[in-house]
Amino acid sequence: MPELGQMALILALLLAVVQAAFPLLGAWRGSAALMRMARPAAAGQFVFLLLAYAVLTHAFLVNDFSVRYVAENSNLTLPWYYRFSAVWGAHAGSLLLWVLILNFWTLAVAVFSRRLPEVFVARVLGVMGMVSVGFLTFSVFTSNPFIRVLPAPANGMDLNPVLQDPGLVMHPPMLYMGYVGFSVAFAFAIAALLGGAFDNNWVRWARPWTNAAFGFLTAGIVLGSWWSYAELGWGGWWFWDPVENASFMPWLVGAALIHAQAVTEKRGGLRAWTLLLSIFAFSLSLLGTFLVRSGLLTSVHAFASDPRRGLFILMLLGLAVGASLLLYALRAPKVAGGKPFALASRETLVVVGNLMLVVAAAMVMIGTLYPIVGDALHLGRVSIGPPYFGPLFIAMMAPVVVLLPFGPFARWGRADPREWKRVGLIAAPAAVVGGSLFAWAASGGMPPWQAWLGGLSSAWVVAGVVLYVRKRWISVPAGRRYPAEMAGMLLGHLGVGIFLAGALLTNALSVETDVRLAPGQTASIGAYTFRFEGVDDVRGPNWIAHQGTVVVTQNGQQVAVLHPQKREYSGDVVQTEAAVSAGLFRDLYVALGESLGGHGAWALRLYDKPFVRWVWLGGLFMALGGFVTLLDRRFRVRAPAGETPPAAVADALPPPRPREAGA
């Protein structure tokens, strides 16, 4: 069986070479026959990769330990659902998933691009084929998941217990959907640069793909954050860990890109910038993959590393980034253009937001790469932590938050500053009063400054969204008030408001204590009393655990009974399972530390975390915003039936409706 997967993988690689070479050649030579090879090659490649992936999944499900990858990452006692997700639990399989998702996007592009000029589609699919060639070569030659180990061991080692969690079943696929989704915008940019001409309809075509990728990436990051909160037992939701930063850099640039694309589509401006951001977003996705997979970083993501692998991805990264930036330097001056805009205009606001997001991404990149580069150059082994990232990030995002409510009110080309003034005069008092009341209620008294800032900034952003919703309600007839594109924008901005409240309130108001408790003893944090009832032994499918029982009361009323665990998996691996009583307004969180000997005393970590759910809720709103824009009719206009020459297809698209344009 595994040999079948191996065969399928090699055939997929060959088809990827076909998909990369012939359509690009055809587009260059003007050969329609060669260009038409793009779609069948993409479809064939997808089928074979799906087959390879299915074979590997099958090997996991039937416990075929003769496959080395399965033997290293699975076990007879592992529940079937974790055997299913264990496929992407380590390097080789997660790489296969990466390529499979790339092929899924490629296939979707092949299917939904029928109204685009053939030569453009050939270039887009050719570029995606090149990316696929790179990663499939990587997979086949350095990270083959189908290698046998003979004789087969009777039982496998185990999946890393840290990864045995529902949050992790979904986190990598979502994240990869985002990372790889940016390859569409990247391929589009390269195709436009190769062609040397620029057509705004292509941007309109590329936008939903970017928005979807952004939505997936956001959801993936939210899942990762939630997982580390629940699973690592530290109770935080973001640590500025290098692997988190690896996914956050493309997110920041992606956020800039979806706004820049809107400008380019609607006004033709910022073309070169949009192309550059498209290249950056995908390059940072590649960089993220490189950082996480090369073994340079020390974290749960850095699987057993092989220096050849790191070198291979680094070469791939250098080749992709270098070649695309070279192409950009040669061709970008040709594509410049667009309508002029005044200083007070929506374009200017987008440019400012874009700059801040890109600078923040650069800041994160420098902080993440400095320790690696410094180590390589023997400048000493340093680590850079939250004290660097946190304050700088807040400082860089502050202007974005201040300007955010004005964005939707600004017209393209030339905005009316009087309208901004009106908005500011309503939103500012509303934010001060509403935000202060909110922070006051959340803190149960005089709020600390960070909580106050959280309430204020959140109320400011939400007030801007509400005012704009009201304006559309009043000034636009029913049915046309909130096109999907605008609804997505409003949801995303609302998500920013919710996130701000969550992030700042939870940072300001969380109470975290480590205590030593014997059975029957209590500890109080805030209004809550935690009573430790002792520890029992429990047994799961593939672990045994010490399970504590903690009863939480408030004013004598029982609020929650929590069961934190300390699990021991095979191979002497210990894993802390925190117990969380989740609520919209607060989480109560207990993690079991260690046994302190005599009288059954244990070390316990007790957290009261108000509003922590809002962090993820805000992220989910942003993701939802990205997905909702896909429903916009403007993005799905189809060519009239029958044989239509490409030029006429472009003309058949209705012009953008400036008055209803969302950002």
Q: Does 554 bind another protein (CB under 8 A)?
A: no
Written as one letter, the residue type at 413 is G
Of residues 34 and 604, the one with the C-beta less far from another protein: 604
Residue 303 CB, nearest approach to another protein (Å): 9
Q: Does 352 bind another protein (CB under 8 A)?
A: yes
d(CA 649, CA 653): 7
Q: Which stretch binds another protein (CB under 8 A): 5-13, 18-26, 217-225, 591-599?
A: 591-599
Structure tokens at 62: 């039937």
DSSP 240: -
Residue 293 CA to its chain's centroid (Å): 17
State yes or no: cis peptide before 151, omega within 30 of 0: yes
CB-CB contact of 516 with 596 (8 Å): yes
3-state secondary structure of 471: helix
Q: Pick from 480, 516, 636, 659: which binds another protein (CB under 8 A)?
A: 516
Residue 160 CB, nearest approach to another protein (Å): 6
Residues with Cβ within 8 Å of residue 238, at least 6 apart in sequence = 225, 244, 615
Span between the terminal Cα atoms of the chain, in Å: 51
Residue 130's nearest CA partner among 316, 326, 322, 292 is: 316
In degrees and rounded to multiples of 5, residue 129 shows phi and psi of -65, -40
Residue 64 CB, nearest approach to another protein (Å): 20
Residue 601 CB, nearest approach to another protein (Å): 9
Q: Does 271 bind another protein (CB under 8 A)?
A: no
> Which residues in the 600-619 window bind another protein by CB under 8 A?
603, 605
Residue 424 CB, nearest approach to another protein (Å): 21
Structure tokens at 94: 């997660």
> Which residues in the 112-171 window bind another protein by CB under 8 A?
160, 162
> Which residues in the 320-349 window bind another protein by CB under 8 A?
340-343, 348
Q: Does 435 bind another protein (CB under 8 A)?
A: no
d(CA 52, CA 663): 41
CB-CB contact of 613 with 584 (8 Å): yes
Residue 363 CB, nearest approach to another protein (Å): 5
Of residues 379 and 648, the one with the C-beta less far from another protein: 379
CB-CB contact of 158 with 78 (8 Å): yes
Residue 79's nearest CA partner among 166, 199, 147 is: 166
> Which residues in the 272-311 window bind another protein by CB under 8 A?
295-296, 298-300, 304-307
Of residues 566 and 634, the one with the C-beta less far from another protein: 566
How many residues bind another protein, per CB under 8 A? 57
Residue 485 CB, nearest approach to another protein (Å): 25
- Beta strand pairing call for 557-562 and 522-525: unpaired
Query: Which residue bears the tokens 């990436």?
Result: 217
Q: Pick from 11, 47, 140, 392: which binds another protein (CB under 8 A)?
A: 392
Q: Does 356 bind another protein (CB under 8 A)?
A: yes
Beta-carbon neighbour count of residue 283 at 10 Å? 21
Q: Which stretch binds another protein (CB under 8 A): 91-99, 367-375, 428-436, 618-626?
A: 367-375
Q: Which stretch binds another protein (CB under 8 A): 43-51, 141-149, 572-580, 614-622?
A: 572-580
Query: Which residue bears the tokens 């620029």?
Result: 198
Residue 522 CB, nearest approach to another protein (Å): 16
Q: Does 366 bind another protein (CB under 8 A)?
A: yes
Residue 388 CB, nearest approach to another protein (Å): 4
d(CA 466, CA 490): 9
Residue numbers at the binding site for another protein (CB under 8 A): 160, 162, 295-296, 298-300, 304-307, 340-343, 348, 351-352, 355-356, 359, 362-363, 366-367, 370, 375, 380-385, 387-388, 391-392, 395-396, 514-516, 566, 571-576, 591, 593-594, 596-598, 603, 605
